[in-house]
């Protein structure tokens, strides 16, 4: 079974989480069979280890991690690979796949450009 972790930095502001949770909801609506969870690097819960454990408990055998970072900064480039290795070690029967940072997808950058130009006189 497919599991997806929508992974973001985190914030103490509970409203900050709403767009992250919205992405997770859209994934769940798009594929009702996929198990979906949000996870955060710091400042709020759950962390990625807790989210992965929950998805594995629900039956996920392949977990895709979608980093909601706009670019490949330190967190995406250095911290996330370490966390991914820890997940693989903790759950050796599960395949963990790290997707590119969201901002590196040309479809997202094209959409943002389109949004910026909407309703332009």
Give me the active site residues, please.
9
- Report the distance separating Cα 108 and Cα 110, nearest Å: 5
Give the Cβ contact number of residue 106 at 10 Å: 7
CA distance 30 to 34: 9
Bridge partners for 3 per DSSP: 35, 63
Comparing CA positions, the residue from 33, 118, 26, 94 lying closest to residue 66 is 26
């Amino acid at each position: 079974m497919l599991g997806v972790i929508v992974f973001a930095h985190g914030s103490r502001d509970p409203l900050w989480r709403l767009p992250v949770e919205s992405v997770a909801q859209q994934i769940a609506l798009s594929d009702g069979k996929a198990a979906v969870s949000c996870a955060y690097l710091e400042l709020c819960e759950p962390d990625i280890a807790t989210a992965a454990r929950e998805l594995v408990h629900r039956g996920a055998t392949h977990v895709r991690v979608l980093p909601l970072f706009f670019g490949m900064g330190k967190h995406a480039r250095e911290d996330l690979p370490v966390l991914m290795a820890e997940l693989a070690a903790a759950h050796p029967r599960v395949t963990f796949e790290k997707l590119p940072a969201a901002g590196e997808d040309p479809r997202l950058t094209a959409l943002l450009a389109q949004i910026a130009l909407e309703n332009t006189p």
